[in-house]
Structure 1
């Protein structure tokens, strides 16, 4: 059996951090940098939480409930930073009139579903002898 690399997520987090730091330097000169900076820091924070949950799962084999709670926490960090889809344009095109709290609840559910789906699908691919890394290289 081949050895398993546990730090792939850390490498991805380092790459994400370098990209965000480069973007922050560029955003300093733009007028609308406040929202973009908040989004970038939220993405970095959520990514860091997801990375450490994945690393803890690899090293300590944490329970599924703990892993899902950590992933939901990463999604909450994104939501607190304002990283969420706006359903206004969709509901407007469909002539739907949803109450604000229902629209907000749907946006929150979409972000949580996306984070849980993305992290768990990568986790499943990663368990197949490095398939995740190959898919990552192919898509880049």
Structure 2
């Protein structure tokens, strides 16, 4: 906890700045995303009787994620950390984003959606991001995962992608959950002294607040 407070004190101005960046970018892009969704017919259908996760009384644009994605990319470019891992995360998330946008527009089969999600996950792994170890609950050492870590990483990325999609039925629900997650992970990044990742996550948090 002390490490986080020290980190926050040193980089408080940058943290607030990137949070503002995210808020500003999202505020700017959201109306544009809504307009594009309506213009190109990327809208959610009306809720049907018996559906619990949809309460739409009129067609609603499904392009809100576009404003979050564009804000995310701009924040990434402003930070300027083009390390192999960060670039891999951006490329992998872009593959998943555009694939799911295509699904919103045309409707993809389950196999097609999973293929896109697994492709994005493998890009992330191939650029060096994967679970390598976990804390040993029965001791103070770390348990090395080896190749199992790759499997866990793929399952985690694909699982989180679909979990967020499932809860995306009420206004602000998915965005709120992801924002809390982003702040939580940013605290871990601060504890580890990873400035670029913490700024990126605080920027995403600002994006989600505006959204």
Same-fold call, TM cutoff 0.5: yes
> Please, what is the CA RMSD of the aligned residues?
2.6
1:87 alignment partner in structure 2: 133
Aligned residues: 123
What CA deviation, in whole Å up to 9, does each residue of 1:46-79 have, x standing for no partner? 1111111111111111001110110000001101
For residue 136 of structure 1, report the CA deviation from its aligned partner. 4.5
Which structure carries more helix by proportion?
A: 1
Change (3 A) 1:13 1:89: same
Which structure carries more strand by proportion?
A: 2
2:160 alignment partner in structure 1: 118
For residue 104 of structure 1, report the CA deviation from its aligned partner. 3.4
Moved over 6 A (4+): none
Change (3 A) 1:5 1:134: farther
1:105 alignment partner in structure 2: 147
1:21 alignment partner in structure 2: 77
Q: Does 1:42 align with 2:84?
A: no
Higher-Rg structure is: 2
CA distance in 1, matches of 2:114, 2:122: 12
Runs of 5+ unmatched residues, structure 1? 28-35
The two structures have a TM-score, normalised by structure 1, of 0.74
Between the two structures, name the one with larger relative contact order (CA 8 Å, sep ≥ 6). Answer: 2
For residue 13 of structure 1, report the CA deviation from its aligned partner. 1.4
